[in-house]
Structure 1
């Protein structure tokens, strides 16, 4: 990236921006990066971790390029690789990698975004092939990247119908352009200007009797014979559907990593500005640097701490995906899906909040497009709702914790979740750990001994998770006695979301603590250790109400937590620039006029 002129498109109109992003996509295609995650037999690198990291790195620059690359090589190419079989790999993967064949990932519909299982587009088997149809307006494929301008082939998710029977959602390869024009039966419209990411040509797709061959079905998990007979190695339609979707989590992981990197960029800009901008005078007549104000430190330093925490959590997630390979055991796959969903939700929410904070920290200068932050705000805003709406993703995390990924709850349905909670003894949901014992032992210790104790942080997060999980299970169990599973779950939805959130918070803290422990440089480890303390104590401070309500903190210790956060902000202030320089954002992406004047 540092060798290319991938500069920010602050003065470009939509068409020029799209053209620039396509040109940059072609430049990426000339490297070995796009194919890193593909099978070496088809020109790939067989390096899943390297592929994910490469996508994340694009988060430092124009996020339209990251998204378009993610659509081309992550979603479109990834679906061909992970849902297709050898015949698809042989025919398409090299052309996808080189950028010769540009494609789309057509899942979302106008009426169905998160509820993928009930998509309405149909693929009906007849006369040896499939006919793709959009039955009504709610089935129009919506917000499809690469569709409005550049895409030629789309992976279309549709209800497979054969022999008069629907077999659920499957993926099909459908041409959408021939010779640069819409293919027969395909209607393409442009979504137009968006709040951000205008270098991505999002479009709408509708199909009217579009015929494709039998080989168009991506048939790793199911196939249709010449006579229309349906077969699958996975008997349950629900199980097959969730297995199919589970293979596609790399896009979600890439979004999380890109969001973290965009956040790093915003913080690097804000800290550099905070170290040079001066406002108001001391009694001695010296004009004060912004970052010397405690309020300014409070804005930026806890955000830096959380960004480091999420970096290490993301690093651990990518390593796990890489190590598990393309065919992980079912339990590992379920756990991976849950962790990817949770980190994506927390990382993208953190990005939207932190980039806004960085903008405010730069005052009016931060509102000028030339100073980078407005585009970061606009481009990352949609991250909270694409590749999975964050609210839905946290529910997925919580449901996984409640059901323990029991085989017969693979569909994660509301009824199954409530029934499980009703039938089981709550105490069997989660084996009690030693967390409470540790907290009880430390309860009477002096604040100075406890507040910077890493074990206390870890056990407090662990205990909070256990308590919240037990609480929601008891609540669902009691509510289920009414016999209305939907009402029971809906009534407890706030509790369910908190369950997912505190679980992810615990995972993130553990990842940060593990990173500190493995750091071999003593000075770096000491600095990271204080930053880890700040992350933990900031989280505890933000959730003081819960800790006080549930007797985990006394009022005196809660006040001491706030004082400790202030102390850490003062202690870390001299290292603010070191910490953001540690993000290693390429200098070309930090060229803002407000940092040069």
Structure 2
């Protein structure tokens, strides 16, 4: 039993590479008076978040991810970690900060060149220039490559136009109230040719806050959550910006209208542009993890203090967390949060290494994009399910606003569809696996993917190995967990390749070929990410120096692996990877682990080291 592990020993493992930064940020959060937002009206909430954003400037937080040459600190990984810790507090502040310094500032830094950096970065950091990231359109949310806003080069300027309401920029953070400039993604048009989607710096308000000529702004109105963020809609009608407004790292236009780029293919240039912006996706995954940790900490505390029903032979009522059903609600979710935390740490380190290079390695960039897409999808889906379970575990009291759980539910709900719809992201993961990140991968559309598979898939994936023989392993055998996860991924991917190959060799419509296999595509992406998450957890345990903490983490990892196998046992049974007796044994072992980890539940949530004021509620 590991019920006497010091939470600080676990915190050391959880904090990892950026432990010193995490410590400083926690100290600052602990010293700040917590201002609950659940009872604020929308305008008051927005005003408070703007004030808090200005306070962040004084902490130096915004400088982390920007280059030292322009007043930053050059710590890309540290900037993501700092956003991640903002996820313990008001998520409207986290999103607002992410828009200003992650999306708007990140686009200027990653897609612009020295002329943009010298002119704008210092003001972006200081909040003297509040900005927006105007990519999403009402009619083409996930289909970014086919956005319909245009920026046409005319007489030394770009003329930005919104052709119709389907092309309006929608859900744009900072647009409704505070933003003065937007990075607008539009089709770059010269003469009768489009060169694909590029980013342009477009002023949307003047110094007094009035919309610029030709810019129409509307408020999106009340949302299901995150009402401290001023989401708005933007239309452009003949808005002229200078040639230098083009963020020209990957493509430029000369004064006489000649387009040049170091990347010949429009599609490849587009994906290179999107890849440079992957930091936002990584930040969302981390913040979702923080919000989930906070919800589980509140629910575990409640489960250890709330009593209900007496034993037949006792005078006192039973503590909720002593019930197996309650343990099963919270402890597998807690184990998954640990696993995803370590996967997120690996992802942040990968981002830091790849984007710290002046010219990132293309293969490493593709791997980063795929992993970021998958981790973001799995982490945000986990947030949605785990926070809901935490709310249920707290009963009716958990439905009261002052428990903070309804707010966490509402604020994280949209995480599954912003910074990339999760379904689309898992397809991206699977497509990357199938094509092995080929240089001429065309775009995200089902039609193009099916065509590419038809042309290039033959021989790209190894023939599936015969089904592995069923042994009777110890359920806590880590090698068995790894083999089972890897075998599932290999089998699903190979089955998908065979399915697409057979269909593509026929006369079938390429769209229908891919569309009919979407369930298989999504399973392939999920199986791949599940394996990576397990591997990340295993590596973190191997690096733990404290024997007691290491033993406890091994139990938590066992629970993560076995709960995952239990949840997918239909697949394992159907494909001969589990026998019926072994499947039953897995279920029984999950129960045993829940009982063993019950005394450690408070230790496990305390190890997140969330500042006390963020987990103290009437429930706890």
Q: Is the contact between residue 421 and residue 474 of structure 1 (CA under 8 Å) also seen in structure 2?
A: no
2:520 alignment partner, SS class: helix
Distance 2:458 2:70 in 1: 50
Distance 2:442 2:603 in 1: 46
Distance 1:425 1:401 in 2: 11
Q: Is the contact between residue 74 and residue 251 of structure 1 (CA under 8 Å) also seen in structure 2?
A: yes
Q: Is the contact between residue 45 and residue 228 of structure 2 (CA under 8 Å) also seen in structure 1?
A: yes
**Partner residue of 1:308 out of 317, 335, 338:** 338
CA positional deviation for 1:427: 5.8
In structure 1, what is the equivalent of residue 157 of structure 2? 129
**Partner residue of 2:406 out of 352, 374, 377:** 374
In structure 2, what is the equivalent of residue 205 of structure 1? 234
Q: Does 1:506 align with 2:500?
A: no
In structure 1, what is the equivalent of residue 247 of structure 2? 218
In structure 2, what is the equivalent of residue 444 of structure 1? 471
Aligned in 2, Cα 1:156/1:451: closer, same or farther, shift over 3 Å?
Answer: same
Aligned in 2, Cα 1:139/1:424: closer, same or farther, shift over 3 Å?
Answer: closer
CA positional deviation for 1:425: 6.9
Q: Which moved more, 1:411-420 or 1:330-339?
A: 411-420
Q: Does 1:2 align with 2:38?
A: no
Aligned in 2, Cα 1:425/1:48: closer, same or farther, shift over 3 Å?
Answer: closer
**What does residue range 290-301 of structure 1 map to in structure 2 within 5 Å?**
290-301=320-331
**What does residue range 162-311 of structure 1 map to in structure 2 within 5 Å?**
162-178=190-206, 179-285=208-314, 286-311=316-341
Q: Is the contact between residue 150 and residue 201 of structure 1 (CA under 8 Å) also seen in structure 2?
A: yes
Distance 1:124 1:135 in 2: 12
In structure 1, what is the equivalent of residue 79 of structure 2? 51
Q: Is the contact between residue 268 and residue 441 of structure 2 (CA under 8 Å) also seen in structure 1?
A: no
In structure 2, what is the equivalent of residue 456 of structure 1? 480
Q: Which has the higher contact order (CA 8 A, sep 6+)?
A: 2
CA positional deviation for 1:413: 4.7
Distance 2:406 2:41 in 1: 16
Q: Does 1:556 align with 2:562?
A: no
1:409 alignment partner, SS class: coil
**What does residue range 398-547 of structure 1 map to in structure 2 within 5 Å?**
398-423=430-455, 428-430=460-462, 440=469, 443-445=470-472, 449-480=473-504, 481-547=506-572
Structure 1 residues 511-536: Cα deviation after superposition (integer angstroms, max 9, x where no partner): 00111111110000000000000000
Structure 1 residues 481-533: Cα deviation after superposition (integer angstroms, max 9, x where no partner): 12411110000000000000110000000000111111110000000000000
CA positional deviation for 1:406: 1.2
For this pair of structures, how many residues does the alignment match?
587
**Partner residue of 2:63 out of 18, 31, 35:** 35
CA positional deviation for 1:419: 4.2
In structure 2, what is the equivalent of residue 568 of structure 1? 593
Distance 2:435 2:446 in 1: 11
CA positional deviation for 1:594: 2.0
Q: Which moved more, 1:533-542 or 1:29-38?
A: 29-38
1:280 alignment partner, SS class: strand
2:31 alignment partner, SS class: coil
Distance 1:195 1:212 in 2: 35
Distance 1:503 1:539 in 2: 13
Q: Is the contact between residue 214 and residue 238 of structure 2 (CA under 8 Å) also seen in structure 1?
A: yes
Q: Is the contact between residue 442 and residue 448 of structure 2 (CA under 8 Å) also seen in structure 1?
A: no
2:440 alignment partner, SS class: helix
In structure 1, what is the equivalent of residue 351 of structure 2? 321
Q: Is the contact between residue 394 and residue 500 of structure 1 (CA under 8 Å) also seen in structure 2?
A: yes
Q: Is the contact between residue 404 and residue 429 of structure 1 (CA under 8 Å) also seen in structure 2?
A: no
Q: Is the contact between residue 311 and residue 317 of structure 2 (CA under 8 Å) also seen in structure 1?
A: yes
CA positional deviation for 1:105: 0.2
In structure 2, what is the equivalent of residue 116 of structure 1? 144
**Partner residue of 1:342 out of 367, 370, 374:** 374
TM-score, structure 2 as length reference:
0.93
Distance 1:513 1:247 in 2: 30
Distance 2:149 2:409 in 1: 34
Distance 2:80 2:164 in 1: 37
CA positional deviation for 1:429: 1.4
Unpaired runs of at least 5, structure 1: none
Structure 1 residues 88-121: Cα deviation after superposition (integer angstroms, max 9, x where no partner): 0000000000111100000001111100011111
**Partner residue of 2:393 out of 349, 357, 361:** 361
Aligned in 2, Cα 1:516/1:265: closer, same or farther, shift over 3 Å?
Answer: same
In structure 2, what is the equivalent of residue 87 of structure 1? 115
1:378 alignment partner, SS class: helix
TM-score, structure 1 as length reference:
0.96
1:30 alignment partner, SS class: helix
Q: Is the contact between residue 434 and residue 460 of structure 2 (CA under 8 Å) also seen in structure 1?
A: no
Aligned in 2, Cα 1:423/1:188: closer, same or farther, shift over 3 Å?
Answer: closer
Aligned in 2, Cα 1:425/1:84: closer, same or farther, shift over 3 Å?
Answer: closer
Q: Is the contact between residue 252 and residue 261 of structure 2 (CA under 8 Å) also seen in structure 1?
A: yes
1:206 alignment partner, SS class: strand
Q: Is the contact between residue 6 and residue 62 of structure 1 (CA under 8 Å) also seen in structure 2?
A: no
CA positional deviation for 1:426: 6.0
**Partner residue of 1:142 out of 162, 170, 192:** 170
CA positional deviation for 1:10: 1.5
Distance 2:62 2:231 in 1: 21
Let me know the Cα RMSD of the aligned residues.
1.4
